[in-house]
Structure 1
């Protein structure tokens, strides 16, 4: 049994399929740690969740967009509030279109988000979390909103990385996070970014980048095609589609 990790596919079903196929992932035998945000942005959230639900050994972590979608489909998001507007303009509109306007999210999909873990620690002390953690306190004492929203951890890690300081985020053997696209730190960083024992897995699939999957033990990485080119007529969260940019 192999262990794989990926993050932040944001409705890009075609990219998910490519990563699964190119990595040789076995949906019956291997384990997939998905670091959150399967929803919002590209047009195939429903198909993406169906694919994840077909994986026998799936460990799904909660992302901030997952939290938004869960609130919306659980009736906890105000119909006229600022949060609803923000969610819809940050990719939520594509999720609504994927399931159908004014239609509910299927029960199994809703349960995936309800049961998503705020963090996960493996038996060999590998931490997996969507956004990062507060290094000043035990992770079990950290609020879920911090774990899925805050970029402070990434900023601290990247600052140390750029200064070429030796990094090891104790007490963990390794840490895997998503949420912050590598491209937002360095436009040339199209692969997962390893900073000491921390690996940033979000390679910008929600925007102009690729989706990545990594074998946790061998460290081998496989990637999708550029997601914009997989959905050339869709704007995603970019504000402009691939075809519009190259018209």
Structure 2
């Protein structure tokens, strides 16, 4: 019987070798729908190669690519040519060095890819996917600041701080969380909590398992919650520092 899974994949951070390994371990086929949570670059040395791979993957698989804050920073650098010291310190240096070896045609193709990224995806089962979070109490359609979709950390902080015994019907239950069946995010590595597997708080799933640092890259089956992981991404890039 043909498998038709929906898999959500955490922040890659130029870890192409880990992504290729993960594709094999999860036995991903063109029948699967792949939802990528953003932050495709910044950390390891394969920035250009990672975007090239994702562009090719889009031609053979059903892919949904969301926008991460690092993708937006890289896009601004490619299109405006402005140095961003903060970006350089948080993985951008490796990305800039990768693009220094590419040609103008490749850069233009990648600019088009970054422009095509979506801020969020809401599926037919009322499951929401976005890189970071949102702040409006009434949900994503009412969000004033679209950058929140790929910069906000308060959604995850809110979910973590919530009393697990608090009912959704309680007057103090956060209104942000009641609009969606489940919310899937990246952006804030769960390695900050000492974890390397997907973490759930309230109805929010965090799939960023620290690929930019010492953690693995993860793919999670949205429906069954089975997940697959690469080895720690740094082990595929000996001698590199990543974002450590």
Q: Quote the offset at 1:167 in angstroms.
A: 6.9
- 1:176-215 alignment runs, 5 A limit: 176-184=184-192, 186-187=193-194, 189-215=195-221
Separation of aligned partners in 1, 2:98 and 2:219? 24
Number of paired residues?
228
Whether the 8 Å CA contact 1:166–1:196 is kept in 2: the answer is no
For residue 165 of structure 2, what is the aligned residue in structure 1?
A: 165
For residue 138 of structure 2, what is the aligned residue in structure 1?
A: 137
TM-score, length basis structure 1: 0.87
Q: Which runs of 5+ in 1 are unaligned?
A: 239-247
SS at 2:147 equivalent = helix
Q: Quote the offset at 1:124 in angstroms.
A: 1.3
1:200/1:34 Cα in 2 relative to 1: closer, same or farther (>3 Å)?
same
- 1:25-174 alignment runs, 5 A limit: 25-26=28-29, 28-55=30-57, 56-75=61-80, 77-79=81-83, 84-100=84-100, 103-104=103-104, 105-142=106-143, 143-160=145-162, 163-166=163-166, 169-174=177-182
Separation of aligned partners in 2, 1:110 and 1:167? 45
Q: Quote the offset at 1:131 in angstroms.
A: 0.6
Q: Which runs of 5+ in 2 are unaligned?
A: 169-176
Alignment match of 1:7 (pick from 6, 10, 13): 10
Whether the 8 Å CA contact 2:78–2:107 is kept in 1: the answer is no
TM-score, length basis structure 2: 0.88
Q: Quote the offset at 1:85 in angstroms.
A: 0.8
Q: Quote the offset at 1:101 in angstroms.
A: 5.5
Cα-Cα RMSD: 1.7
SS at 1:140 equivalent = helix
